[in-house]
Amino acid sequence: MSLIVEVKNLSYTYEDGTQALKGVDFDLEDRATVALLGANGSGKTTFVHHLNGILQGSGSVVIDGLPVTEKNLREIRKRVGLVFQDSDNQLFMPSVIEDVAFGPLASGMRQAESLERAKQALDRVGLSGKAYKSPWHLSAGEKKRAAIAGILATDAKLLVLDEPTSFLDPPGQRALGELLAGLPHAKILVTHDKEFARALTDDAVFFEDGTIVARGPIAAVVQRFAW
Protein backbone atom coordinates (compact mmCIF):
# COMPACT_ATOMS: atom_id res chain seq x y z
CA MET A 1 0.00 0.00 0.00
CA SER A 2 1.26 3.49 -0.81
CA LEU A 3 2.26 6.07 1.78
CA ILE A 4 -0.04 9.03 2.33
CA VAL A 5 2.37 10.76 4.75
CA GLU A 6 6.18 10.73 4.64
CA VAL A 7 8.07 12.91 7.10
CA LYS A 8 11.84 12.92 7.42
CA ASN A 9 14.03 14.78 9.91
CA LEU A 10 11.38 17.41 10.67
CA SER A 11 12.44 20.13 13.10
CA TYR A 12 10.72 23.35 14.13
CA THR A 13 11.62 26.19 16.48
CA TYR A 14 9.12 28.88 17.48
CA GLU A 15 10.07 32.55 17.44
CA ASP A 16 10.53 32.56 21.21
CA GLY A 17 13.28 29.94 20.84
CA THR A 18 11.22 26.92 21.90
CA GLN A 19 12.31 23.91 19.86
CA ALA A 20 9.02 22.07 19.41
CA LEU A 21 10.17 19.35 17.00
CA LYS A 22 13.59 17.71 16.86
CA GLY A 23 14.29 15.53 13.84
CA VAL A 24 10.96 13.71 13.60
CA ASP A 25 10.57 10.79 11.17
CA PHE A 26 7.06 9.46 10.52
CA ASP A 27 5.06 7.68 7.83
CA LEU A 28 1.47 6.58 7.39
CA GLU A 29 0.01 4.27 4.79
CA ASP A 30 -3.04 5.26 2.78
CA ARG A 31 -6.30 4.35 4.59
CA ALA A 32 -4.44 3.59 7.84
CA THR A 33 -5.19 5.17 11.24
CA VAL A 34 -2.73 6.14 13.96
CA ALA A 35 -3.11 7.77 17.38
CA LEU A 36 -0.67 10.50 18.41
CA LEU A 37 -0.18 10.34 22.17
CA GLY A 38 1.89 12.37 24.62
CA ALA A 39 1.67 15.13 27.19
CA ASN A 40 0.62 18.68 26.37
CA GLY A 41 3.57 20.49 24.85
CA SER A 42 5.24 17.33 23.57
CA GLY A 43 5.00 18.43 19.92
CA LYS A 44 1.89 16.65 18.64
CA THR A 45 -0.06 19.69 17.46
CA THR A 46 3.05 21.39 16.08
CA PHE A 47 3.70 18.22 14.11
CA VAL A 48 0.26 17.94 12.53
CA HIS A 49 0.28 21.64 11.62
CA HIS A 50 3.14 20.79 9.27
CA LEU A 51 1.02 18.31 7.36
CA ASN A 52 -0.97 21.01 5.58
CA GLY A 53 1.59 23.79 5.71
CA ILE A 54 0.24 25.89 8.58
CA LEU A 55 3.79 25.59 9.87
CA GLN A 56 6.86 24.86 7.76
CA GLY A 57 10.05 23.79 9.48
CA SER A 58 13.25 22.16 8.29
CA GLY A 59 13.21 18.64 6.95
CA SER A 60 10.86 16.97 4.48
CA VAL A 61 7.07 16.55 4.55
CA VAL A 62 5.36 14.75 1.65
CA ILE A 63 1.60 14.19 1.42
CA ASP A 64 0.33 11.67 -1.13
CA GLY A 65 3.55 12.08 -3.12
CA LEU A 66 3.43 15.89 -3.09
CA PRO A 67 6.01 17.88 -1.08
CA VAL A 68 4.54 20.41 1.35
CA THR A 69 6.05 23.56 -0.11
CA GLU A 70 4.69 27.05 -0.68
CA LYS A 71 3.83 26.41 -4.33
CA ASN A 72 1.91 23.23 -3.45
CA LEU A 73 -0.10 24.53 -0.49
CA ARG A 74 -3.41 24.91 -2.32
CA GLU A 75 -3.33 21.30 -3.48
CA ILE A 76 -1.99 20.02 -0.14
CA ARG A 77 -4.88 21.65 1.71
CA LYS A 78 -7.33 19.85 -0.54
CA ARG A 79 -5.77 16.54 0.47
CA VAL A 80 -5.39 17.14 4.21
CA GLY A 81 -8.49 17.89 6.27
CA LEU A 82 -7.94 19.29 9.77
CA VAL A 83 -10.74 18.89 12.32
CA PHE A 84 -10.15 21.40 15.11
CA GLN A 85 -10.58 20.60 18.78
CA ASP A 86 -13.27 23.30 19.08
CA SER A 87 -15.67 23.10 16.14
CA ASP A 88 -16.78 26.69 16.79
CA ASN A 89 -13.42 27.71 15.32
CA GLN A 90 -14.22 25.85 12.11
CA LEU A 91 -17.87 26.63 11.38
CA PHE A 92 -18.54 30.19 10.28
CA MET A 93 -21.16 30.35 7.51
CA PRO A 94 -24.85 31.24 8.08
CA SER A 95 -26.10 27.70 7.42
CA VAL A 96 -24.63 24.22 7.76
CA ILE A 97 -24.88 23.45 4.05
CA GLU A 98 -23.10 26.70 3.14
CA ASP A 99 -20.34 25.80 5.56
CA VAL A 100 -19.91 22.32 4.10
CA ALA A 101 -19.99 23.67 0.53
CA PHE A 102 -17.37 26.34 1.29
CA GLY A 103 -14.35 24.09 0.63
CA PRO A 104 -15.45 22.89 -2.81
CA LEU A 105 -16.43 26.45 -3.78
CA ALA A 106 -13.08 27.80 -2.64
CA SER A 107 -11.30 25.19 -4.76
CA GLY A 108 -13.05 26.48 -7.88
CA MET A 109 -15.99 24.07 -8.13
CA ARG A 110 -19.25 25.45 -9.49
CA GLN A 111 -21.94 26.33 -6.98
CA ALA A 112 -24.41 23.63 -8.06
CA GLU A 113 -21.79 20.92 -7.83
CA SER A 114 -20.52 22.26 -4.52
CA LEU A 115 -24.01 22.14 -3.02
CA GLU A 116 -24.49 18.60 -4.30
CA ARG A 117 -21.19 17.59 -2.72
CA ALA A 118 -22.30 19.22 0.52
CA LYS A 119 -25.63 17.37 0.52
CA GLN A 120 -23.88 14.04 -0.02
CA ALA A 121 -21.40 14.75 2.77
CA LEU A 122 -24.15 15.79 5.19
CA ASP A 123 -26.05 12.61 4.41
CA ARG A 124 -22.93 10.59 5.11
CA VAL A 125 -22.49 12.12 8.58
CA GLY A 126 -26.20 11.92 9.40
CA LEU A 127 -26.98 15.63 9.23
CA SER A 128 -29.23 15.88 6.19
CA GLY A 129 -32.04 17.22 8.34
CA LYS A 130 -29.85 20.04 9.67
CA ALA A 131 -28.61 21.36 6.31
CA TYR A 132 -30.35 24.73 6.53
CA LYS A 133 -29.91 25.27 10.27
CA SER A 134 -27.39 27.73 11.67
CA PRO A 135 -24.25 25.90 12.89
CA TRP A 136 -24.71 27.64 16.23
CA HIS A 137 -27.94 25.70 16.77
CA LEU A 138 -26.19 22.33 16.54
CA SER A 139 -25.09 20.23 19.48
CA ALA A 140 -21.36 19.75 20.09
CA GLY A 141 -21.50 16.33 18.44
CA GLU A 142 -23.39 17.67 15.45
CA LYS A 143 -20.88 20.51 15.06
CA LYS A 144 -18.06 17.97 14.99
CA ARG A 145 -19.84 15.94 12.33
CA ALA A 146 -20.56 19.09 10.31
CA ALA A 147 -16.85 19.96 10.40
CA ILE A 148 -16.04 16.45 9.15
CA ALA A 149 -18.68 16.80 6.42
CA GLY A 150 -16.89 19.92 5.21
CA ILE A 151 -13.79 17.79 4.68
CA LEU A 152 -15.68 14.92 3.07
CA ALA A 153 -17.07 17.38 0.52
CA THR A 154 -13.54 17.97 -0.74
CA ASP A 155 -11.05 15.48 -2.18
CA ALA A 156 -9.21 15.03 1.12
CA LYS A 157 -7.35 11.77 1.60
CA LEU A 158 -6.14 12.40 5.15
CA LEU A 159 -8.19 13.39 8.19
CA VAL A 160 -6.30 14.95 11.09
CA LEU A 161 -8.42 15.23 14.23
CA ASP A 162 -7.20 17.29 17.19
CA GLU A 163 -8.70 15.98 20.45
CA PRO A 164 -11.85 14.78 18.64
CA THR A 165 -13.78 13.81 21.79
CA SER A 166 -13.44 17.23 23.48
CA PHE A 167 -16.80 18.78 24.43
CA LEU A 168 -18.66 15.53 23.55
CA ASP A 169 -20.81 13.51 25.94
CA PRO A 170 -20.56 9.68 25.81
CA PRO A 171 -23.31 9.26 23.17
CA GLY A 172 -21.63 11.91 21.03
CA GLN A 173 -18.29 10.16 21.41
CA ARG A 174 -19.80 6.83 20.36
CA ALA A 175 -21.50 8.38 17.33
CA LEU A 176 -18.26 10.05 16.28
CA GLY A 177 -16.31 6.82 16.68
CA GLU A 178 -18.81 4.92 14.54
CA LEU A 179 -18.66 7.60 11.86
CA LEU A 180 -14.86 7.65 11.74
CA ALA A 181 -14.62 3.86 11.71
CA GLY A 182 -16.73 3.81 8.56
CA LEU A 183 -14.63 6.32 6.64
CA PRO A 184 -11.94 4.97 4.29
CA HIS A 185 -9.61 7.95 4.69
CA ALA A 186 -6.23 7.78 6.39
CA LYS A 187 -6.62 9.27 9.88
CA ILE A 188 -4.37 10.81 12.50
CA LEU A 189 -5.94 11.15 15.95
CA VAL A 190 -4.25 13.62 18.29
CA THR A 191 -5.82 12.59 21.56
CA HIS A 192 -5.58 12.03 25.30
CA ASP A 193 -8.59 9.69 25.10
CA LYS A 194 -6.91 6.30 25.02
CA GLU A 195 -10.14 4.31 24.91
CA PHE A 196 -11.45 6.29 21.94
CA ALA A 197 -8.13 5.74 20.17
CA ARG A 198 -8.19 2.00 20.93
CA ALA A 199 -11.63 1.73 19.32
CA LEU A 200 -10.30 3.09 16.02
CA THR A 201 -6.73 1.83 15.77
CA ASP A 202 -4.09 -0.39 17.30
CA ASP A 203 -1.24 1.82 16.05
CA ALA A 204 0.09 4.57 18.31
CA VAL A 205 2.96 7.05 18.30
CA PHE A 206 4.23 8.64 21.52
CA PHE A 207 5.66 12.16 21.44
CA GLU A 208 7.98 13.42 24.15
CA ASP A 209 9.93 16.67 24.14
CA GLY A 210 9.59 17.20 20.40
CA THR A 211 10.56 13.70 19.33
CA ILE A 212 8.82 10.40 18.64
CA VAL A 213 10.10 8.05 21.33
CA ALA A 214 7.91 5.03 20.54
CA ARG A 215 5.60 3.57 17.94
CA GLY A 216 3.69 0.32 18.18
CA PRO A 217 0.51 -1.28 19.54
CA ILE A 218 -1.38 1.29 21.59
CA ALA A 219 -1.67 -0.99 24.64
CA ALA A 220 2.11 -1.48 24.76
CA VAL A 221 2.83 2.24 24.22
CA VAL A 222 0.44 3.32 26.96
CA GLN A 223 1.80 0.71 29.38
CA ARG A 224 5.42 1.60 28.66
CA PHE A 225 4.95 5.28 29.41
CA ALA A 226 2.31 4.88 32.12
CA TRP A 227 0.38 7.61 30.38
Cβ atoms of 47 and 37 closer than 8 Å: no
Per-residue pLDDT tens over the stretch 22-51: 999 999 999 999 999 999 999 999 999 999
Total structural domains within the chain: 1
Q: CA torsion sign, 107 to 177 to 85 to 33?
A: negative
Whether 226 shows a pLDDT value over 80: the answer reads no
| pLDDT average, residue stretch 57-80 | 95
Answer whether residue 62 is part of any domain.
yes
SS3 category, 87: helix
**Strand order across the beta sheet in which 80-83 lies:** 80-83, 158-162, 186-190, 33-37, 203-208, 211-217
| pLDDT average, residue stretch 171-185 | 94
Answer whether residue 139 is part of any domain.
no
Answer whether residue 112 is part of any domain.
no
Domain enclosing residue 195, as ranges? 3-90+158-225
Q: What is the pLDDT of residue 86?
A: 81
Rounded CA-CA distance 133/5 in Å is 36
What CATH number is attached to the domain comprising 206? 3.40.50.300
| pLDDT average, residue stretch 86-93 | 83
Name residues whose C-beta falls within 8 Å of residue 128's C-beta, 6 or more positions apart in sequence.
119, 122
Q: Which of 9-23, 78-92, 125-139, 197-211 has the lowest mean pLDDT?
A: 78-92
